[in-house]
Each structure stands twice: as structure tokens, then as C-alpha cells.
Structure 1
Amino acid sequence: MPNTPSLYIDVWSDYVCPFCFLEVPVLDQFRAAYGDAVEFRWHAFELRPEPAPLLDPDSEELHRNWAYSVLPMAEEREVTMRVPPVQPRSRKAFETALFARDEGRFDVVHRAIFKAFFEDGLDVGDVDVLLDIAATCGLDPESLEAALNEGRYTEAVIEDERLAGEVGITGVPFAVVSRAATDSVPGKAIALRGAAPVEHFIEAVDRLLPDGLPQPQ
């Protein structure tokens, strides 16, 4: 029988949000500590969907935010980051990640999209860039291109964002740590806003499961 997780972490993020990328190593730490007892579920949240104006990559405000907030946290979390020269929309990147999930390659593509933008400064809103990322990650770029052209995953992205609205999410990263319900214990959830440190996730687990996290069955 497949393992049944004892805990779920739903994470809403955007591939063009630096703080979402900075949360990846934190979640890796948490995964290393709890293993298969936890299931991560990533959700789309476009900070600037059509027709919202895009950020100016050369703006003083953006560079000030990087200098005083992003880069100090990147150094603390040992993440390589550079100010991207472009500020794209991210819907096609999310659709690419969903295609990868269906192909069993979500994690590697998810990380590759983040790194392409924040390490290499590539336009992850450009389909050709996404096709190259897919090919590098072992996916068939022609199949991905067909899926993107058909809008096969567009509704799934919109559904993620509709759910975010129901939850009351207005910014990312945003995580919901929830306890799986059992016959004797009801489900329960704790929300964590922003680029929370791993200690906050562990504290949430302690509150949700004061007797400790049981191993998956």
C-alpha cells in the first residue's frame, strides 16, 4: 500500500518572487527532518497576472528591496541569487510545472525554473526558455509546447488562484500546514505567511501534533 502522509504543507508561491525562492531551502530542511510523513503540495499564485503592470527591473525601489531584504536573506540561507534583468509574467511557468508534475518531473523542473530566473536571469515567461528548461530536465519539449499552446493547464492555474482567494491569500510565499484527519482526530491547519524560517514550521507541527509526528502507514 502507498504511504499515507500524517501532515500536509500547501505552499502558494510565484516563480518571480524572490522570497518564494528563498523558502525552498527551508522546506528542504523540513523535508529532510520529517521525510515521507509530510506531503508538499505547491500551488500557483501570480503576483502580476494580466493585465496588472509588470515591475520595472531597473527601478530604484526594486534594487533597494533586493539590497536591504532579499540579498541579506539569501546570504543567510546560502542561496545564490542575482537581480533579474527582466520581470516576466509567470503563468506559462506554472503551466510548465504542472505538465512536469504529470510527467513525474515536478521537483526538478520547479527548481530549474526558479534557478533560471534568479541565478541566470532568464525570462521564464518566454515559451522558448521554458522549452529549453524542460528539455534539460528530461521532458519532451514538443509535448510541452503542444500543452502550452492548447492551454491544457491554464484552468488548473486559475483554480489554484481561486482557492488562494478563498483562503484569503494576498501575498506569497504562503504556507498552510495541516494535520491529516483520522477517525479519532479531526483535521487542523496553521497558516505561515512570508519567508518563514524552518523553526516556524517545526513549531506548527508541535502545535498540530503535540504527541509527535507519527510515521506514515
Structure 2
Amino acid sequence: MSSPNATPIKIQVWTDFVCPFCLLGESIIEKAIAGMNVELEWMPFELRPYPTPTLKPEDDYLPRVWKASVYPMAERLGVHIKLPTVSPQPYTRKAFLGLQYAKQQGKGNEYTTAVMKAFFQQNQNIGEDEVLKSILEKLGINPAGLDEFVNSPQANAQHDADLQYAKQVGIQAVPSLAVGAQFFSGVPSVQALRDAIQHAK
């Protein structure tokens, strides 16, 4: 374990709340960083920004991918996850503005986990204001400020800048992780992530 006074290793994780591998990746990240001096920051990457049509669980694609890849991986990791029935899947811009709001209160990581669990474990529509406000409230964040924040030009400009930053660093899939100078596209193993953190010192 590193000294608590040492500068923490910064880890950035690009995610989209509707990507099941991001919730599965979160469980790996939690194991990997246990006892390590790290600063974790979740970053936005919209797989299907408006007006790109979002996926529908009743179509062939999602059930096929879940059966072939998501459920087997979830079983290996011991993570409860279920294909949400919300159709079509929600756009995630508003949820990401909620993340920015939660970050300002120092609760960005908790919010990210809660939103993914709401979608993949509780089958909630994370595109709806009331769902996002309920998550904020449970984290001890005043949900009343969300409406104004979501409509704020500054918050939207920051979100657009974050999306542009993701393009600049070459993000093409989620989850993607940057640990110091090392980059992972997809979910690394716990050991690979721990090694990257050690080498980043």
C-alpha cells in the first residue's frame, strides 16, 4: 500500500451508462484499486448521441450480445446484471450532466455506479428526470438543482468539451481506461490494472 501522503495515481474511465461492460468493468476496477492510492474519475462517452437511434431490447442484436458475451462475463465476475426492458434505450446526455453535477459535490464515482445499477439491476429508465433525481437524493445531493444544471449553458459546454476530449485521446469503445500513460480499451484484468497502477508511480 502506498503512503497516504503520496500523490494519488489518476485513473480516468470512459463510460456510457447503457453499456453493460461498463458495470462489469466497474467491479474489476473496484477490486484492482483496493488499497491503492488512486484518484478515479469517470468520463463521458456517448455511444449513440441524439439523434442517432438507440438500441431496442426486443430486436435481435442486444439479446444475442448479452447471451454470447455479457451474461457469461457477469457470471465469471459474480455481478448481477439483466438486460433492461426499457425500449428504446435512453439517451445518456442528461445522465452525464447529472454526473457533472454529482462531481461538483464530490460524489461522481458513487453516482456513476448508482446510475449503472439503476439501469442494469433495477430496470429503471435512466433517461428520466425522476430516476436521476432519486439517485442524487440517495447520495445526499440536493436533486432540486438538477433541472437548472441540465439546462445551464456552462454545464452543456463542459459536457461537449469532455466529449471532444474523448475524441482527442482516441476513445472508440467503452469502457476505456487511462492509467498514467498506459491505456486500456475494454475491460482489463484486475492484475493488469494493478500492474499499470504500480508502474504509473
Give SS of 2:100's match.
Answer: helix
Query: Which of 9, 34, 38 is residue 11 of structure 2 equivalent to?
Result: 9
Structure 1 stretch displaced more, 73-82 or 147-156: 147-156
Q: 2:54 corresponds to which residue?
A: 54
In the alignment, structure 1 residue 190 sits paired with structure 2 residue 182 = yes
Contact 2:42/2:109, CA 8 A, preserved across alignment: no
Paired residues for 1:120-199 under 5 Å = 120-178=122-180, 189-199=181-191
Cα separation, 2, equivalents of 1:55 and 1:99: 27
Contact 2:44/2:163, CA 8 A, preserved across alignment: yes
Q: How many residues align?
A: 196
TM-score (norm 2): 0.90
Give SS of 2:151's match.
Answer: helix
Contact 1:13/1:20, CA 8 A, preserved across alignment: yes
Contact 2:42/2:108, CA 8 A, preserved across alignment: no
Give SS of 2:35's match.
Answer: helix
Structure 1 stretch displaced more, 102-111 or 18-27: 102-111
Give SS of 2:18's match.
Answer: coil
Deviations 1:194-217 (A, max 9, x none): 0221122123245x35xxx5xxxx
Q: 2:91 corresponds to which residue?
A: 89
Contact 1:5/1:39, CA 8 A, preserved across alignment: no
Equivalent residue letter for 2:124:
L
Contact 1:131/1:145, CA 8 A, preserved across alignment: no
Structure 1 stretch displaced more, 25-34 or 41-50: 25-34
Q: 5+ residue gaps in structure 1?
A: 179-188
TM-score (norm 1): 0.84
- Structure of greater Rg: 1
Q: 1:167 to 1:55 in 2, by over 3 A?
A: same
Query: Which of 110, 113, 122 is residue 112 of structure 2 equivalent to?
Result: 110
Deviations 1:137-168 (A, max 9, x none): 21211112221233552222211211111111
Q: CA RMSD in A?
A: 1.7
